[in-house]
């Protein structure tokens, strides 16, 4: 096998301290540890489930020191010695309920996690913030394309940060999964630092540009004025427009966002799905697809047009789906792992591969490898209880590609010196 995780080891002489929110099973922590960072505080809470499986795996791997398993709204503050705040937070509606006077700051809709992140940032003001989200964040909601991201930029900028962002496809940087996410890196402003041109920061000198190189940007850069009060931005930003002004790369400073389309400088070290596979002899029988069920899998993966009736209006419409690869090609990076990857039920979105012994689904170890986790990282919780394969697949559908975190972490480490 050509691709396997380097494992996890706490740094001996850490470059700085990390607080990890929405920690999941520890992807940020592993990647940043490889870049020299020590995670001293972490929080993982899943509101939709009574048993906190992800937190249990996290504690099993890292121990209880500095870890909390509670609603983020109950966290009063971060430790005082935090240099870097990180998290892969859920994508929500970030509209503003109201603003208060300047002494009390800003108040958003109850239950929206962005305001909890901002509350902790306001109290602690870490030197750096590194966040990860789905790329649709840049164009949500559908009736005000880009408003949510505009609110994020504005509110974080008001806390004294400049902000870079980039839509990243992990496969373009040599990893075995086509996982597309937006990375957001905020840097606390320093007095007396000479300003650079936004194009230079986006293309060459910025943290993301050095960590994840791009080809020279081409085309026109968008300038997006976000100097209005945040409640005005929430109410009026891009209203009625069909497209978001936020493109795949950008930089925000002093109330203005600059955005341009960019392309990754492709890695010469290509790793593919076939490189992460376990030997067939180690794959349990339950992962093999029986011959009499292949027809169902093929149908779900195939192109189709289905007549449906809208439940509310009674309108008849055609629901169409395009063709997907069947089986998934071992010579390409995999498709994005989704949270519903586990279980034996045929699905359009689960991976199916073909080896010399037939058709089968991907094992939990293979899914872990696609994200860069050590083998069997999610096998058991802190009590030693085994985690179901379906839940392990769910973890990987929510996880990130660790190697990308390591790359950004290394450049952040240089910035801290």
pLDDT single digits (tens) 134-162 = 999 999 988 899 999 999 999 999 999 99
Which candidate, 130, 146, 133, 169, places its Cα nearest to that of 222? 146
pLDDT at residue 98 tops 50:
no
- Whether pTM > 0.85 for this model: the answer is yes
> Between these two residues, 276 and 102, which has the higher pLDDT value?
276
| Distant-in-sequence, close-in-space partners of 46: CB < 8 Å, separation ≥ 6 | 52, 53, 54, 55
Query: Which tokens hold the place of 107?
Result: 């108040």
What is the average per-residue pLDDT within 85-91? 88
| Distant-in-sequence, close-in-space partners of 260: CB < 8 Å, separation ≥ 6 | 199, 202, 217, 219, 220, 221, 222, 247, 248, 249, 250
Q: What percentage of the chain has pLDDT greater than the value 90?
A: 82
pLDDT single digits (tens) 338-390 = 999 999 999 999 999 999 999 999 999 999 999 999 999 999 999 999 999 99
Helix (H, G, I), strand (E, B) or coil at 297: helix
Phi, psi of 336 (to 5 degrees): -60, 130
Determine the longest span between alpha carbons in the chain, in angstroms: 70
What is the average per-residue pLDDT within 190-194? 80
Q: Which of 23-37, 78-92, 285-299 has the least mean pLDDT?
A: 78-92
Query: Which tokens hold the place of 330?
Result: 């071992």
Q: Which of 24-28, 47-51, 247-251 has the least mean pLDDT?
A: 47-51
pLDDT at residue 192 tops 80:
no
Mean residue pLDDT of the chain comes to 92
CATH class of this structure's domain 16-267+401-416: alpha beta
Contact criterion met (CB below 8 Å) for 284 and 364: no
pLDDT at residue 195 tops 80:
yes
pLDDT at residue 26 tops 90:
yes
Confidence of residue 116 (pLDDT cuts 50, 70, 90): very high
For residue 107, the model assigns a pLDDT of: 46
Confidence of residue 118 (pLDDT cuts 50, 70, 90): very high
pLDDT at residue 110 tops 60:
no
pLDDT at residue 102 tops 60:
no
Helix (H, G, I), strand (E, B) or coil at 99: strand
Query: Which tokens hold the place of 257?
Result: 């966002």
pLDDT at residue 111 tops 60:
no
Contact criterion met (CB below 8 Å) for 410 and 211: yes
Helix (H, G, I), strand (E, B) or coil at 56: helix
Q: Which of 135-139, 185-189, 309-313, 410-414 has the least mean pLDDT?
A: 309-313
For residue 56, the model assigns a pLDDT of: 98
Which candidate, 345, 350, 351, 344, places its Cα nearest to that of 328? 351
For residue 99, the model assigns a pLDDT of: 39
β-pair partners for 307: 318
pLDDT single digits (tens) 47-67 = 888 899 999 999 999 999 999
What is the average per-residue pLDDT within 116-121? 95
pLDDT at residue 220 tops 50:
yes
Which candidate, 85, 273, 260, 249, places its Cα nearest to that of 168? 249
What is the rounded distance in angstroms from the CA atom of residue 415 to the CA atom of residue 129?
Answer: 13
224: left (phi over 0), alpha (psi -120 to 50) or beta: beta
Contact criterion met (CB below 8 Å) for 18 and 40: yes
How crowded is residue 304: how many other Cβ atoms within 10 Å of its Cβ?
14
pLDDT single digits (tens) 37-50 = 999 999 999 988 88
Domain limits, the chain: 16-267+401-416, 273-382
Contact criterion met (CB below 8 Å) for 351 and 334: yes
pLDDT at residue 283 tops 50:
yes
For residue 92, the model assigns a pLDDT of: 58
Identify whether 14 is preceded by a cis peptide bond (ω within 30 of 0): no
| C-alpha 135 chain-centroid distance | 9
Q: C-alpha angle with apex 18: 14 to 21, nearest 5 degrees?
A: 155
Q: Which regions of 16-76 does DSSP assign to beta strands (E)?
A: 16-21, 37-43, 67-68
What is the rounded distance in angstroms from the CA atom of residue 166 to the CA atom of residue 260?
Answer: 10
Q: Which of 129-138, 187-196, 217-226, 277-286 has the least mean pLDDT?
A: 187-196
H or E element in which residue 236 lies: helix 230-236
What is the rounded distance in angstroms from the CA atom of residue 241 to the CA atom of residue 229?
Answer: 20
**Which residues are catalytic, by number?**
91
Confidence of residue 305 (pLDDT cuts 50, 70, 90): confident
pLDDT at residue 323 tops 70:
yes
């Amino acid at each position: 096998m050509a691709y396997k995780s380097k494992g996890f080891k706490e740094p001996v002489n850490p470059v700085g301290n990390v607080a990890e929110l929405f920690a999941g099973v520890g992807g940020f922590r592993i990647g940043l540890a490889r870049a020299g960072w020590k995670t001293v505080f972490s929080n993982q809470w899943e509101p939709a489930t009574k048993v906190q499986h992800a937190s249990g795996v996290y504690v099993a791997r890292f121990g209880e020191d500095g870890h909390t398993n509670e609603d983020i709204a109950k966290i009063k503050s971060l430790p005082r010695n935090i240099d870097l705040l990180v998290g892969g937070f859920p994508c929500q509606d970030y509209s503003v309920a109201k603003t208060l006077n300047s002494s009390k700051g800003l108040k958003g809709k109850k239950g929206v996690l962005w305001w909890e992140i901002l509350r902790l940032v306001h109290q602690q003001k870490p030197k750096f913030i590194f966040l990860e989200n789905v790329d649709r964040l840049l164009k949500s909601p559908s009736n005000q394309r880009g408003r949510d991201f505009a609110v994020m930029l504005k509110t974080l900028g008001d806390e004294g940060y400049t902000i870079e962002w980039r839509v990243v496809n992990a496969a373009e940087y040599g990893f075995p999964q086509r996982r597309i996410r937006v990375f957001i890196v905020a840097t606390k402003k320093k007095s007396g630092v000479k300003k650079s041109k936004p194009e230079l920061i986006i293309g060459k000198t910025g943290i993301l540009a050095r960590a994840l190189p791009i080809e020279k940007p081409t085309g026109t850069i968008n300038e997006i004025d976000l100097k209005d009060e945040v409640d005005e931005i929430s109410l009026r930003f891009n209203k009625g427009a069909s497209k978001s002004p936020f493109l795949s790369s950008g930089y925000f400073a002093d109330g203005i966002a600059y955005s341009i389309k960019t392309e990754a400088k492709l890695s010469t070290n290509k790793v593919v799905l076939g490189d992460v596979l376990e030997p067939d002899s180690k794959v349990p029988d339950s992962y093999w697809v029986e011959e009499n069920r292949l027809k169902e899998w093929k149908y779900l993966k195939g192109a189709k047009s289905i007549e449906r009736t809208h439940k509310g209006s009674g309108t008849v419409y055609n629901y169409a789906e395009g063709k997907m690869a069947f089986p998934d090609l071992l010579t390409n990076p995999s498709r994005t792992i989704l949270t519903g990857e586990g279980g034996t039920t045929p699905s359009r979105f689960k991976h199916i591969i073909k080896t010399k012994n037939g058709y089968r689904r991907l094992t939990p170890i293979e899914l872990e490898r696609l994200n860069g986790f050590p083998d069997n990282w999610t096998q058991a919780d802190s009590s030693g209880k085994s985690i179901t394969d379906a839940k392990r697949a769910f973890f990987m559908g929510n996880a990130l590609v660790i190697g990308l975190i390591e790359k950004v972490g290394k450049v952040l480490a240089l910035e801290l010196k």
